[in-house]
Amino acid sequence: MIDGDDPLFQTLTIRGKLLKNRIFSTGHMAVMLDDGKPTARMVAYHQAKAQGGAALTIIEAARVHPSGDSGRPAIRAYDPACVPGYARLAKACQPHGCLVFAQLSHPGREMTLAADGTHPVAYAPSTVPNERFHVVPRELPLLLIKEIIDGFEVSAAHMRQAGLDGVELVASHGYLLGQFLNSNINQRSDAYGGSRAGRMRFLQEAIAATRRGAGEDMVLGVRLSGEEKDHHGVEIDEMLEVCAAMDANPALDYLNVTAGTSAGLAGSTHIVPPMAYEAAYTAPIAAAIKARVRKPVFVAGRINQPQIAVAVLQSGQADMCGMTRALISDPQMPAKAARGAISDIRACVACNQACIGHMLNACAISCIQHPETGRELEFGNLVPTTSQKRIMVAGGGPAGMKAACIAAARGHEVTLYETAGALGGQVNLAQLLPGRSEFGGVTTNLLRELENAGVAIRLNVPVTQELVREESPDAVVVATGAVPYSSFIEGAEEAHVVTAWQVLEGKANIGARAVVADWRCDWVGLGLAERLARNGCHVRLAVNGMVAGQTIPQYARDAWLGNLHKLGVEIIPHVRLFGIDPEDAYFQHTLSGEPVVLEAVDTLVTALGHTPNTELERALKELAVPHHVIGDSLSPRTAEEAILEGLKIGASL
* CB 218, CB 167: distance < 8 Å: yes
Q: Which residues are paired to 418 by β-bridges?
A: 459
Cβ contacts of residue 283 below 8 Å, gap of 6+?
A: 299, 301, 303, 312, 315, 317, 318
- Exposed, middle or buried, 494 (CB in 10 Å: 0-12/13-18/19+)? exposed
User: Torsion angle of alpha carbons 481, 486, 492, 498, nearest 10°?
Assistant: -10
Q: Which residues are paired to 611 by β-bridges?
A: 483
Chain CA centroid to CA 228, Å: 19
Q: Is 175 a catalytic residue?
A: yes
Per the residue annotation, which of 175, 192, 254, 417 is the catalytic one? 175
**457: helix, coil or strand?**
strand
* Selection from 125, 134, 113, 130 nearest residue 171 by Cα: 125
Burial 216-251 (b: 16+ CB within 10 A, else e): eebbbbbbbbbbbbbebbbebebbbebbebbeebee
Tell me the C-alpha distance between 392 and 338, whole Å.
36
Helix (H) or strand (E) holding 377: helix 376-379
How do strand 482-484 and strand 138-139 relate by DSSP bridges?
unpaired
Tell me the C-alpha distance between 328 and 332, whole Å.
9
Tell me the C-alpha distance between 609 and 518, whole Å.
9
Label residue 201 left, alpha or beta by phi (over 0 means left) and psi (-120 to 50 means alpha). Answer: alpha
**What stretches of 448-507 adopt beta strand conformation (E)?**
456-459, 475-478, 482-484, 497-499
Report the catalytic residues: 175
